[in-house]
Amino acid sequence: MGLEVAVKVSVEEDEKDMLDRLNNKHLSLLRAIIVTELMNKPEEIHGHESEFHRVDDAVKEIQDTLNKLKVPLKVLPFMSSEDEHTARCSLRLIINLLDGGNHSVQGIAVCELKRLKRLQSPPPPPDSLYDYFLSNRNESFFIDVQTHLIDSAGVIKEIRSLMQAQLKEQAARKAVRRAKAFILFVLNKHLNSLLTRP
C-alpha cells in the first residue's frame, strides 16, 4: 500500500515537472515572438526613422494580437507559480507585452471609456491587465510576487556575502604570500651577508 502511494506521488511530481517545463517553453516562445521583432530595431534612430517606426508598429501589432487572445490575463497566474523559472518567464513576457507603453495591453483607454459611460451593468470579465487588477480583489497574486522578490533579494545577498568572503580569503592568501616572500627575502639577505663576511 505504501509503495503505491509513493509511486503515485512520484508520478504526480513528474507530471508537474513536465507541465512546468511545457509552460516555460510556451511562455518563452510567446516572448520570442516579440523579442525577435524588437531585435530588428536599429540602435540609433537618427537616419533610420522609417525603420524604427516600422519595427515599433510591428511590435505594437504583435502585442495587440496577443492581447486580443487574452494572453496577458492568461499569463498572470503563472507569475505566482511556485516554480521560480515559470514566474520569471511569465514576468519577462508581461514586460515585453507592455514594452513601449502599449495602451491596449494596459487597458487604460478602455477603462477610462467605461468609467466615463458609467455602465450600471455587472462588470464584464477583464479585458486588460488594468481591468484585471481593478476587478480582482485577490491579494495572493501580489503576495506571491512579493515573496518571489524577497527570495530573489535573499539569494542576491547570499551571493554577495559569498563573494565578499571569497575576496577576503583571496586577500588573506595574498597577504600570507607577501609575508612569506618578505621573510624569504630577509632570510636570503641575512644569509648572503653571513656568507660574504670574512
Strands (E), the chain: none
Are residues 125 and 107 both part of a single domain?
A: yes
Q: How confident is the model at residue 167 (pLDDT cuts 50, 70, 90)?
A: very high
Type of residue found at 78: F
90: cell is 511569465
Q: How confident is the model at residue 163 (pLDDT cuts 50, 70, 90)?
A: very high
Please give the residue that has the higher pLDDT: either 120 or 139. 139
* Distance between CA atoms of residues 131 and 124, nearest Å: 9
**Mean of per-residue pLDDT scores for the chain:** 76
Q: Is the pLDDT score of 115 beyond 60?
A: no
- b/e per residue 95-128 (b: at least 16 CB within 10 A): ebbebeebebbbbeeebeebeeeeeeeeeeebbb
Are residues 122 and 154 both part of a single domain?
A: no
Are residues 40 and 122 both part of a single domain?
A: yes
Residue 53: what pLDDT?
A: 67
* Distance between CA atoms of residues 140 and 151, nearest Å: 16
Please give the residue that has the higher pLDDT: either 196 or 7. 196
How do residues 4-54 score in pLDDT, each as one tens digit? 444 455 557 778 888 888 888 988 888 898 888 877 766 666 566 666 666
Are residues 22 and 116 both part of a single domain?
A: yes
Is-contact 37 52, C-beta < 8 A? no
Are residues 30 and 105 both part of a single domain?
A: yes
Q: Is the pLDDT score of 108 beyond 60?
A: no
Task: Classify the C-alpha dihedral 35-37-38-42 as positive or negative.
Answer: positive
Q: How many domains does the chain have?
A: 2
Domain boundary among 116, 137, 158: 137
Mean pLDDT of 175-186: 89
Mean pLDDT of 170-177: 92
Residues in the chain: 198
Domain boundary among 97, 115, 137: 137
Is-contact 129 76, C-beta < 8 A? yes
72: cell is 496577458
Are residues 82 and 109 both part of a single domain?
A: yes
Are residues 124 and 52 both part of a single domain?
A: yes
149: cell is 522578490
Contacts of 31 (CB under 8 A, 6+ apart): 89, 92, 93, 96
Are residues 32 and 105 both part of a single domain?
A: yes
Are residues 83 and 8 both part of a single domain?
A: yes
Q: Is the pLDDT score of 105 beyond 80?
A: no
Strands (E), 18-114: none
Q: Is the pLDDT score of 76 beyond 70?
A: yes
Q: How confident is the model at residue 94 (pLDDT cuts 50, 70, 90)?
A: confident
Mean pLDDT of 123-146: 66
Domain span holding position 86: 2-137
Q: Is the pLDDT score of 153 beyond 50?
A: yes
Q: How confident is the model at residue 107 (pLDDT cuts 50, 70, 90)?
A: confident
Contacts of 109 (CB under 8 A, 6+ apart): 103
50: cell is 522609417
Are residues 96 and 48 both part of a single domain?
A: yes
Q: How confident is the model at residue 111 (pLDDT cuts 50, 70, 90)?
A: low
Are residues 12 and 78 both part of a single domain?
A: yes
Domain boundary among 91, 113, 137: 137
Residue 166: what pLDDT?
A: 92
What pTM value is reported for the model?
0.54
Are residues 129 and 150 both part of a single domain?
A: no
